[in-house]
Structure 1
């Protein structure tokens, strides 16, 4: 289901996080999420269930109104359809197949079309498919399944982009220096691989890792204590109670091994369901802690683009966005080289103490000091300048305009303040719809109505000849700056060329 906050017809879609024991219907990706379709001025929108993992009906066409009465026959047909789309083998069967595959003396084959390690009895069935031959399936290759498996790159479902080696090594080196010996890898198969490879090399202290991922193909390579088939958007374990028990056992710190979670969700995913799932994992971790008066929140590193900072901080106020730029091997833009953009927008959001995360000098980072009291995170790698009159940092190309009492481009039209996004329900500029005191009441104020301006909602007085000029509460479209000023910040060397 393609989701967005509003459309041209004045409709909006909001997610409703269900509380209590109410059970949602399930699609092949597990329990669905509840959404509400809202319209300006209406008392209450109609609610419906849709897939948690896919934003495109072509990928998963599940749809059900909340108040629909579903017949028993339809429920049985739905369950049968879900079963037909499940992996062809159980996790235990995959493990058994992998042991047999390793024992093959010669003639190992991997079907690239089916993404499956083949046993000799299956070669004939896959004879017409594209194959990887024995020379390509070495022990080293099998220890790095992300290099064998074709990434699932659908932007509206899996969006499986893999860390570049340098970003992966930085993450693992940082976690090791901070004393973490267990890493819960949620959607980060490359990090999981690197931990296992370093353990095999024996050059550093051993670390444990557990991979939670919706890509069931990794079950071919990892045991039940190393991988769980998991949907991070609805906190669903496809392996049932046994798989969730594996997570609980991993989160236990009885041996003094500190645990941290590192997650790299699809960038098109909804923040609130992700935060809800991560909070449930954190709550499971908290309940397993034996020390009294200790940390109440599980250490987390959430990897996401910087423009989601307000939404993430709304869900996790204790988080801080770090300045490290995460690169990906198979993303067309978020990587270094001639085919990538100069700066990746992907950052680390974490509840770790920022000063403890030392960014690598070899990648061009350095520690710089500023005379300003409030922090500013240089989110896209550029050097911003501070305006003493606006009391905020702006783009280097902007100049302070005395007529508009704000900074803008030198050739901007004076008198046109940037548009605002106010409350979708009552028109107030002081809050959003989710915090509106009149959220469940029909709007009766006729003083304002809504118009669209560059995809933003603006209030306008009736019978007014010109658009009402209002004070900007947010930055213009395409400009992202931090919400605070800093006394110190990490910068990139090549930003001051």
Structure 2
């Protein structure tokens, strides 16, 4: 999974936690921040250190509220990327020059070609002199040892280490700016076996470094294997291990190649090789990312491939998009010809999304693809079976519903059909006549956690955060006064907080003097 945990905290439509989204279902919120892809281009948008920024606007019930603004595509926390600019703001030349200088200072210390030159020097060293700095995440030459003398160094870096750089590098796991989770060997084996069985000879790995190195290592071991791989990833550290023909520094949320036109040309030639035949894209974006910018970038990649491919037979680049099942509705809105497979993808360094005692029983991560599901064989040894009615492989507990005429389970458990809702629902849900739908048994009937309208002025057209009366002097002071005089309830009844009491005692002491 590629590392940036994209966009900003206020983007409510797709930044909800995985567990809460799973329980809430697939309802699309009409509240929050919306990205405006049709109203911007990479040429006109200002750049931050992660490439072209995205254009956002605050929305309420589908209507724009307030001014549009540009923000980073790669970080959802302003601490990780401080860029912010109003869309209608006029930026001075001095500020533009300062911004460009800052962006340059935050780029990798060396070019891809310089990293490759160092790599050739590194592999020429004897094993005893091959060192890797764990703190700086850098392969060290003899001239670098003094500078890193106080750091934690790994010695005797073998060829096998360099063939599996994802095990040598520390995964970036800051959920507000990075989410670099790596496939297990089990998942990599399934992907490579499936790709080979389907007849693909080239794989474009977008944010899947573990699969990229798995393909390369298996190709070296098996001379009969003809599968090639090109990695696109925002983690520039892989520039130390892969040449320009094997790795491109890339941001999948704004379709930006950090290497410029040269890197984009390498990717395009790779896609168009053999007239576009035999290539498949496998992508594993961070789950916190917005679906719409991802789909926009994936269409751009498909356009790069389509220029020489037979568009009559293959209107879209064959694709595996790895994402949680509760994003199905949003993905199908962007790619209506996609379908979701039952195969559960797991990760080495994720406590929940993997098999074993420390993981959850069912991983929510699935594969969305535009390849016919009946041609993709899921391993019977892991409990998958073929449904002769649906003409596809499903999980063992995914029972076929004769009413829905489909194997309806999404999370791997056996779902049940509700005749009142006229659809299959999760086994833990029951139909509530008051709510008029199936919900959890211990839900608060008719008590929605979402407050409709503005808490301040009562208008249903916006929320308190965007209320025009919020900073009117009288109203604002009244709100602040209410907060200061707020009481809390205890077992003995209403009670003024201790801080308020302290202030009152101090006031009494002053009056005494």
The bucket for the TM-score relative to the shorter chain is 0.7 to 0.9
2:186 is equivalent to residue 166 of structure 1: yes
1:387 maps to which residue?
A: 418
Distance in 2 of aligned mates of 1:15 and 1:130: 42
Shift of 1:183: 0.3
Q: Who is 1:183 aligned against?
A: 203
Q: TM-score, normalised by structure 2?
A: 0.77
Mapped partners of 2:94, 2:462: distance in 1 = 46
Give the structure 1 partner of residue 124 of structure 2: 103
RMSD between superposed Cα atoms in Å: 2.8
- d(CA) in 2 for partners of 1:210, 1:383: 39
Give 1:310's match in structure 2, choosing from 304, 324, 329: 329
Note the C-alpha offset of 1:392: 1.1
Please list, as runs of the form range in 1=range in 2, the aligned pairs for 1:272-291 lying within 5 A after superposition.
272-289=292-309, 291=310
Larger C-alpha radius of gyration, 1 or 2?
2
Structure 2 CA distance for aligned equivalents of residues 391 and 54 of structure 1? 41
Give the 3-state SS of the residue equivalent to 1:386 in structure 2: strand
Residues 130-209 of structure 1: pairs in structure 2 closer than 5 A = 130-134=152-156, 137-202=157-222, 204-209=224-229
Q: Secondary structure at the match of 1:185?
A: strand
Question: What is the match of residue 27 of structure 1?
Answer: 48
CA change 1:423–1:214 in 2 (3 A) is farther
Structure 2 residue matching 1:97: 3-state secondary structure: helix
1:400 CA drift (Å): 4.8
Inter-CA distance 403–303: structure 2 relative to 1 (3 Å threshold):
closer
2:368 pairs with 1:346? no
Three-state SS of the structure 2 residue aligned to 1:73 is helix
Give the superposition deviation at 1:377.
Answer: 3.7
Distance in 1 (alpha carbons) for counterparts of 2:58 and 2:49: 23
Using structure 1 for the length normalisation, give the TM-score: 0.79
Change (3 A) 1:424 1:202: farther
Say whether residues 1:93 and 2:114 are aligned partners. yes
Cα shift at 1:294:
2.0
1:24 is paired with a residue whose SS is: coil
Is 1:57 the counterpart of 2:78 in the alignment? yes
Give the stretch that moved more between structures: 175-184 or 359-368.
359-368
Deviations 1:147-173 (A, max 9, x none): 000000111222000001101110111
- Corresponding residue number in structure 2 for 1:334: 353
Q: Partner residue of 2:405?
A: 374
Residue of structure 2 equivalent to 1:356 = 375
Contact 2:116-2:241 at 8 Å conserved across structures: yes
Asked if the contact 2:208/2:284 (under 8 Å) is kept, the reply is yes
Q: Is the 8 A contact 1:303 1:348 kept in 2?
A: yes
Output the CA distance in 2 between the equivalents of 1:76 and 1:150: 34
Measure, in 1, the Cα distance between the counterparts of 2:102 and 2:442: 59
Selected match of 2:339 from 320, 328, 337: 320
1:155 and 1:421 map into 2 onto residues whose CA distance is 25
Match of 1:266 among 258, 261, 286: 286
Distance in 2 (alpha carbons) for counterparts of 1:151 and 1:351: 30
Instruction: Give the count of matched residue pairs.
Output: 424
**Residues 409 and 44 from structure 1, CA distance in 2 versus in 1: closer, same or farther, beyond 3 angstroms?**
closer
Cα distance between partner residues in 2 of 1:373 and 1:41:
32
Q: Which residues of 2 match residues 75-94 of structure 1 at below 5 A?
A: 75-94=96-115
Larger relative helix fraction: 2
Residues 424, 163 of structure 1: CA spacing in aligned structure 2 closer, same or farther, 3 A cutoff?
Answer: farther
CA distance in 2, matches of 1:354, 1:397: 28
Contact 1:39 / 1:45 at 8 angstroms: preserved in 2?
no
Would you say the 8 A contact 1:38–1:46 is kept in 2? no
Deviations 1:119-157 (A, max 9, x none): 0001010000000011xx111111000000000011122
- Is 1:240 matched with 2:235? no
From the superposition, tell whether residues 382 and 241 of structure 1 become closer, same or farther in structure 2 (CA, over 3 Å): same
Q: Distance in 2 between matches of 1:361 and 1:418?
A: 44
Contact 1:2 1:57 in 2 (8 A): no
